[in-house]
Amino acid sequence: MSSAYDDQNIFAKILRGEIPCNKVYEDEFVLAFHDIQPQSKVHVLVIPKGAYISFDDFSQEASDAELAGFFRAAGKIARDLGIAGEGYRALANHGVNANQEVPHFHLHLFGGQPLGRMIKVPG
């Protein structure tokens, strides 16, 4: 856990049950729920239960069990959502250049439709 983690971020509140979410999956390591402003037909956020700010933080600080639990769950969630067959995009924004809005690590799962090219870089 990073000392700079802000436990008032919106996903920390969701994890504590202070704010509702439209849950799709939960286990010991992971919570997954629908994005409040979906950017594709299926848009689910997968978050670790541990207090990690971003992918960078999670990849450095999480235990092997948390890392394995998270990524095993993320793949299963995509399959259970029915988006694995036709394909989907998994994306994590880290930091300012990526416009990360919520400082609790989350993996976006986009799918259910063709998603176009990978990324648009302004300018």
Active-site residue list: 106
Q: Which stretch binds ligand 5GP (CB under 6 A): 1-9, 65-73, 75-83, 92-100?
A: 92-100
DSSP code for 5: -
Tokens of 99: 């416009």
Q: Which stretch binds ligand 5GP (CB under 6 A): 67-75, 78-86, 93-101, 112-120?
A: 93-101
Decide whether 27 or 35 has the Cβ nearer to ligand 5GP. 35
Hey, what amino acid is at 43?
Answer: H
Q: Where are the alpha helices (DSSP H) in the chain?
A: 10-15, 55-61, 64-81
DSSP code for 102: S
Residues that bind ligand 5GP (CB under 6 A): 10, 19, 21, 33, 35-37, 93, 99-102
